[in-house]
A and B are shown apart, each in its own frame.
Chain A
Amino acid sequence: MRVFQRTIAGIKFGILSPEQIREMSVAKIVTPDTYDEDGYPIEGGLMDPKLGVVDPGLRCKTCGARAGECPGHFGRIELARPVIHVGYAKHIARILKIICRECSRIKLPQEKIDEFRKRIKNARKIGKDEEVIIDELYNQAKQVKVCPHCGAEQGEIKFEKPTTYLENGRKLTPSDVRERLEKITDEDAEALGFDVEVARPEYMVLTVLPVPPVTVRPSIILESGERSEDDLTHKLVDIIRINQRLQENIEAGAPQIIIEDLWELLQYHVTTYFNNEVAGIPPARHRSGRPLKTLAQRLKGKEGRFRGNLSGKRVNFSARTVISPDPNISINEVGVPIEVARELTVPVRVTPYNIDYLRKLVKNGAHKYPGANYVERPDGSKIRLDKAKSVEKALKELDVGYIVHRHLQDGDIVLFNRQPSLHRMSIMAHEVRVMPGKTFRLNLCVCPPYNADFDGDEMNLHAIQGEEARAEARMLMRVQDQILSPRFGGPIIGGIHDHISGAYLFTKKETKFRREEALQLLYIAKMYDEIKKLLKEKSEDGYYTGKQIFSLILPEDLNLRYKAKVCKKCETCLEEDCPYDAFVVIKNGKLIKGVMDEKSFGAFAGELLDRIVKDYGTDKAREFLDKITRLVIAFISKRGFTTGIDDEDLPEEAKQRINEILTKAEEEVQNVIEMYEQGLLEPLPGRTLEETLEMRIMQILSEARDKSGQIANEYLEKIEERGKLNGARIMAISGARGSLLNLTQMAACVGQQSVRGERIKRGYSGRTLPHFKKGDIGAKAKGFVKSSYKSGLSPTEFFFHAMGGREGLVDTAVRTSQSGYMQRRLINALQDLKVEYDNTVRDARYVIVAFKHGEDGADPARTDWGKTVNVKKVIEKVISKRG
Chain B
Amino acid sequence: MGKRKVDISKHELVPEHIVLSEEEANELLKKLNITKSQLPKILASDPMVKKIKAKPGDIIKIVRRSPTAGVYYYYRVVISEK
Interface residues of A (CB under 8 A from B): 122, 126, 128, 838, 840, 842, 845-849, 851-852, 854-858, 868
Contact = CB atoms under 8 A, between A and B. Distances in A.
A126 B82 contact: yes
Given A848-B38, A848-B40, A849-B40, A838 B68 contact: no
Contacts of A868: 68
A417 to B, nearest CB: 32
A855 B72 contact: yes
A855 B34 CA distance: 20
Nearest to B76: A848
A848 B34 contact: yes
A851 B66 contact: no
A849 to B, nearest CB: 7
B32 interface: yes
Interface string B23-40: 000000000111001111
10 contacts: A122-B82, A126-B82, A846-B38, A848-B34, A848-B40, A849-B40, A851-B74, A856-B68, A857-B69, A858-B68
A855 B40 CA distance: 15
Residue from the set B32, B39, B68 with the largest chain A CB neighbour count within 10 Å:
B68
B53 to A, nearest CB: 24
Interface string B60-82: 00001010110011110000001
Contacts of A128: 82
B28 to A, nearest CB: 10
A840 B32 CA distance: 9
Contact of A852 (B39, B40, B69): B69
B68 A851 contact: no
B69 A855 contact: yes
Interface of B: 32-34, 37-40, 64, 66, 68-69, 72-75, 82
A854 B39 CA distance: 17
Which of B33, B38, B66 has the largest number of chain A CB atoms within 10 A? B38
A846 B38 CA distance: 7
Contacts of B40: 847-849
A854 B38 CA distance: 19
Nearest to A126: B82
A845 B74 CA distance: 19
A848 B39 contact: yes
Given A838-B32, A840-B32, A855 B39 contact: no
Nearest to B31: A838
A867 to B, nearest CB: 9
CB-CB nearest 10 A-B residue pairs: A856-B69, A856-B68, A855-B66, A855-B72, A855-B69, A847-B38, A855-B68, A846-B38, A854-B68, A848-B38
B34 A846 contact: yes
Contacts of A846: 34, 38
B32 A848 contact: yes
Contacts of A848: 32, 34, 38-40
A868 B39 CA distance: 27
A838 B31 CA distance: 10
Contacts of A845: 38
B30 to A, nearest CB: 12
A856 B39 CA distance: 19
Given A851-B72, A851-B74, 16 more contacts: A122-B82, A126-B82, A838-B32, A840-B32, A842-B38, A846-B34, A847-B38, A847-B40, A848-B39, A851-B73, A851-B75, A854-B68, A854-B69, A855-B64, A855-B66, A868-B68
A791 to B, nearest CB: 49
Nearest to B33: A838
A407 to B, nearest CB: 50
Contacts of B68: 854-856, 858, 868
B32 A856 contact: no
Nearest to B73: A851
A672 to B, nearest CB: 41
Nearest to A128: B82
A803 B72 CA distance: 50
A870 to B, nearest CB: 14
A858 B68 CA distance: 9
A852 B72 contact: yes
B42 to A, nearest CB: 13
Nearest to A840: B32
B39 to A, nearest CB: 6
A212 B1 CA distance: 66
Contacts of B66: 855-856
Contacts of A855: 64, 66, 68-69, 72
A849 B75 CA distance: 10
Nearest to B40: A848
A126 B82 CA distance: 8
B70 to A, nearest CB: 8
Nearest to A846: B38
A840 B33 CA distance: 11
A854 B66 CA distance: 9
A840 B68 CA distance: 16
A849 B73 CA distance: 13
A856 B68 CA distance: 6
A128 B79 CA distance: 14
Contacts of A857: 69
Nearest to A842: B38
Nearest to A123: B82
A845 B39 CA distance: 11
Contacts of A842: 38
A126 to B, nearest CB: 7
- The residue among A838, A847, A855 with the most chain B CB atoms within 10 A of its own CB is A855
A848 B39 CA distance: 6
A854 B68 CA distance: 7
Nearest to A856: B69
Contacts of A838: 32-33
A420 to B, nearest CB: 29
A854 B69 CA distance: 8
A857 B33 CA distance: 18
A89 B74 CA distance: 48
A122 B72 CA distance: 38
A7 B18 CA distance: 39
A130 to B, nearest CB: 13
B64 to A, nearest CB: 8
Contacts of A854: 68-69
Contacts of B38: 842, 845-848
Contacts of A847: 37-40
Nearest to A857: B69
A849 B76 CA distance: 10
Nearest to B82: A126
Contacts of A849: 40
A686 B74 CA distance: 40
A858 B66 CA distance: 13
Contacts of A852: 69, 72
Nearest to A867: B68
A842 B73 CA distance: 16
Nearest to B64: A855
A852 B38 CA distance: 15
Contacts of B33: 838
A839 to B, nearest CB: 10
A118 to B, nearest CB: 13
A707 B49 CA distance: 58
Nearest to A860: B68
B38 to A, nearest CB: 5
A851 B37 CA distance: 15
Contacts of B39: 847-848
Contacts of B72: 851-852, 855
A766 to B, nearest CB: 47
A846 B33 CA distance: 11
Contacts of B69: 852, 854-857
B63 to A, nearest CB: 12
